[in-house]
Homo-oligomer: A and B are copies of this chain.
Amino acid sequence: MAVYTDISDAELEAFLAGYDLGAPLAFKGIAEGVENSNFLLETQKGRFLLTIYERRVRPEDLPFFLGFMEHLARAGFPSATPVPDRQGRLLGALRDKPAAIVTFLTGLSVRRPTAAHCLEAGEGLAWLHQAATGFGGRRENDLGRQAWPQLFAGLKDAAEQLKPGLAGAIQSDLDRIAAGWPKRLPEGLIHADYFPDNVFFREGRFAAAIDFYFAAWDALAYDIGVALNAWCFEPDGSFNVTAARAFVAGYERRRRLAPEEKGALPILAYGAAVRFFLTRLADWGQTPAGAMVRPKDPLEYERKIAVHRAGVALFEASA
């Protein structure tokens, strides 16, 4: 949740003058998106989301993200569509920060996903992967597998401070992950942050995905690994294999996984758990005052790593 930048009516009017959206009818800061300031904007032309990009998102990546969202929408995938200004530009500026207007999506995210939600969410992710094909833009995954050792190098002390012995454990996780990481899996553009709060449902059905600001080129099955961590752990820390199988079954409604992709899911999820642990650890205690954000607990992901470390058996019966 975040509203970092407070925009006045006069600033909003000046910004909207560059768009063909008519006069503003309502404008409210909303508690959505950790990295950016988001506003519900209603004009004579409809309802929109105005986003001001605050941090982490590199301005030079924004044309890729907005272009990707535009591509997905044109391909029929239910995601927010960037609205061009009168000059056809998707990216503008507000208070000297990058800003964009996208269409407003209805739907509710779920706090505690059931296996039924996982089935729907899995299908939505495969749909996203298919809709992404043909987009000309590229972006390396700067939080992908290659980046983790260096990211960890700067966080060893913080890990040890969080929990004695943790630095050594994570080092050994990274060694195992590097040794076992699959090669030559099918690649494409992935969401890379497909968490329950980035997926909307309407009446129990997948309705939309939002927040494409980590999207990058990587193994498609790695996106499933990220999602299994986010969707299939119980509040008590246990891994819900039924939910995980439902997620994968939903995915395969749209796109069949190759046997090597299925077999790689446990290590992909293991690596993804380390990736989110590391970035949460980096953010821990670094949230600026007044940011209206609660930093996410890195220990949640430390517990998920421990589950993967012990071994998660997903498909041994069917494999």
Contacts and interface: CB of A to CB of B under 8 A. Distances in A.
B23 A28 contact: no
A112 B28 contact: no
A10 B24 CA distance: 33
B25 A107 contact: yes
Given A40-B40, A292-B292, A294-B290, A107 B28 contact: no
Contact of A108 (B9, B30, B111, B112): B9
Given A10-B111, A110-B9, A292-B292, A40 B28 contact: yes
A26 interface: yes
Contacts of A109: 9
| Total copies of this chain within the assembly | 2
A29 B10 contact: no
Given A10-B112, A31-B3, A40-B40, A107 B26 contact: yes
A73 interface: no
Interface string A24-47: 111111111000000010100000
B106 A25 contact: yes
Contacts of A292: 1, 31, 292
Contacts of A60: none
A203 B27 CA distance: 13
A117 to B, nearest CB: 10
A8 interface: yes
Nearest to A111: B8
Given A1-B29, A31-B30, A294-B290, A108 B24 contact: yes
Contacts of A110: 8-9
